[in-house]
Amino acid sequence: MDVRAQIVMVFNLDKCIGCHTCSISCKNIWTDRKGAEYMWWNNVETKPGVGYPRQWEDQERFKGGWVVDGKKLKLKAMGKGPTLANMFFQPNMPKIEDYYEPFDFDYGNLAGAKEGKDQPVAEAFSQISGKKIEEIQGGPNWDDDLSGSQIYAAKDLNLKDKKVIESYDSMFMQYLPRICNHCLNPACVASCPSRALYKRGEDGIVLVDQEVCKGWRFCTSACPYKKVYFNWNTGKAEKCIFCYPRVETGQCNACAHSCVGRIRYVGVLLYDADAVEGAALKGDTELVEAHRDVILDPRDPEVCRLARENGVPEQWLEAAVASPVYALVKEFRVALPLHPEFRTLPMAYYIPSLSPVLSTWGDTHKLLEHGMIPALQTLRVPIGYLASLLSAGNEGVIEEVLKKLIALRVQMRAENLGLPADPALLQEAGLDEAAAKRLYRLFTVAGYNERNVIPPQQREEDDPQRRKQEAGFGILKKTRGGSK
């Protein structure tokens, strides 16, 4: 067992209102630069919808992630030999049109135009070519809220039955905020011929070394979530850095900090690095369980001993015990990985939304099994759809989570109104009263320090004199290497 620590984010989809505040705070801090105009390290997309970049989930086209080949894992796109052969032209790379051509408006014309018969307008121009754009073809969140659209939503690969979105009775919508998942088995890292991408041993954050990157572009297509971007100005790859300058000092990420709905939780997970490959080799339906098995119990003394041996600091072990992420992912089993079938073991987890009830007028009250709370089968978002997103098609996993959420609501509603609660319902869902209390607290009133348990990094633990002599005052640079 090789115990390591990873900093992880959980998203509660029930609470996401799609306001894009997270995207804006991320953009303002990190990607408000030439070459990065089109990048949204954090984006929020409407589901069903094509997402950003368009149809990123289509791995037959972009060839991202891993596939099981016999008893081994291999990159879906290509092996090492073909990587060398495809260096000059990378066949699976998304093009700018798959995102959108970034544009701005010529506001100067409003004040500077010569006197004429018509009111001057601020025309759109491309931020790449500088040319005027007659008709804008795409932009950030171009399909925002268009969950009934035949042009966008109908092309969602998770939507098996397209009829669902054709009528107002059955149409549904939810938001999906996405950042880089900082995977345990990152395909981007494995695909890089320059070895510029790496995973930090201490906290698991995946980064691109800008000095080593030569712009071969394999990472942009190898990432099945399309979260590695190509900067057309610097000719290098860039990606979400999990706000490491903030996280290192114990502050939470800009996206999580600015989240209006407080849907995000940030915390530490301990995992077994030796079990990662085995978990990725599991069959589709077993993947979610395999994910949970890789995550270790921070209260287990043996796990703690091995973690200490691996140099995980005491503060991190304490944070792992207090981690809201551990509670949601492993203890309560309500948070699920996004598209586990890509086999990168993503370390961002999603609590599926408890959607409104699906009914026709007049039938409504018959559909409500527990007073005002809808029954599982009548939820508006099809379980198959959620399963395609969050459990590689395993509907049992989704049902288990939704049952818990329903039982929790019934319980808390009864408590609020002073009505007798049905303890059997909680039990059936695998919860007890104490667990329900904790979950309720996490979902509703938990403050900043409960939602974000981020231990600062232990740079000061190194002998400061030695560090000063060896590293100077700057960032310790290692161009290549580090051990496995």
Partner 1 sequence: MLNSLIFIALPYAALALLLLVTPYRFLSNRLTWSAYSTQFLERKVLYWGINPWHYGILPILLAHVLGFAFPGLFKRFLGNPETLVGVESVLFGLGAFAVLGVLLLLLRRVNSGMLKRVTFSSDWLILYLLLFQAGTGIYIGYFMRWGSQWYLHTAVPYLWSIVSFQPQIEYVADLPLVFKLHAACAFLIVAVLPFTKLVHMLYLPVDFLKDPPLLYRWRSK
* Residues at the contact surface with partner 1, assessed by CB under 8 A: 80, 83-84, 87-90, 93, 95-96, 126, 128-131, 185-186, 189-190, 192-195, 197-202, 210-217, 230, 232-236, 311, 459, 462, 476, 478, 480-484
Q: Give the pair of three-digit tokens for residue 292.
A: 């949970």
Q: Structure tokens of 389?
A: 């997103």
For the CA atoms of 183, 185, 186, 189, the dihedral, rounded to the nearest 10 degrees, stands at 140
Amino acid making up residue 477: K
Give the residue among 208, 326, 272 at the shortest CA–CA distance from 2: 272
Q: 218 vs 350, which CB is nearer to partner 1?
A: 218
Per DSSP, the three-state class of 431 is: coil
The CB-of-300 to partner 1 minimum distance in angstroms stands at: 23
Q: What is the DSSP letter of 306?
A: H
Q: How far is the CB of 358 from partner 1 (least distance, A)?
A: 42
Half-sphere exposure of 64 (CA within 13 A, CB side): 28
**Token pair listed for 440:** 């309720």
Nearer to partner 1, 147 or 185 (CB): 185
CB 197 within 8 A of CB 184: no
CB closer to partner 1 out of 157 and 273: 273
Question: How far apart are alpha carbons 343 and 65 in whole angstroms?
Answer: 6
Closest separation in Å from C-beta 28 to partner 1: 23
Cβ closer to partner 1: 194 or 378?
194
Nearest CA to 11 out of 285, 234, 328 is that of 328
Q: Which is nearer to partner 1, 85 or 424 (CB)?
A: 85
Write down the least CB distance from residue 429 to partner 1, Å: 37
Cβ nearer to partner 1, comparing 128 with 446: 128
The first and second tokens of residue 257, run together, are 């900090």
Distance, in Å, from the CA atom of 175 to the CA atom of 435, rounded to the nearest integer, reads 27
Asked if residues 382 and 45 have their Cβ atoms less than 8 Å apart, the reply is no
- Closest distance of CB 478 from partner 1, Å: 6
Residue 475 Cβ, how far from partner 1 at the closest point, in Å? Answer: 10
Tell me the closest approach of the beta carbon of residue 308 to partner 1, in angstroms.
13
Nearest approach, Cβ of residue 201 and partner 1 (Å): 4
d(CA 10, CA 268): 11
Which of residues 72 and 299 has its CB atom nearest to partner 1 in the complex?
Answer: 72
Q: Among candidates 69, 85, 17, which has minimal Cα distance to 277?
A: 69
CA–CA dist 300, 95 (Å, integer) = 48
Which residue lies nearer to partner 1 by CB, 195 or 370? Answer: 195
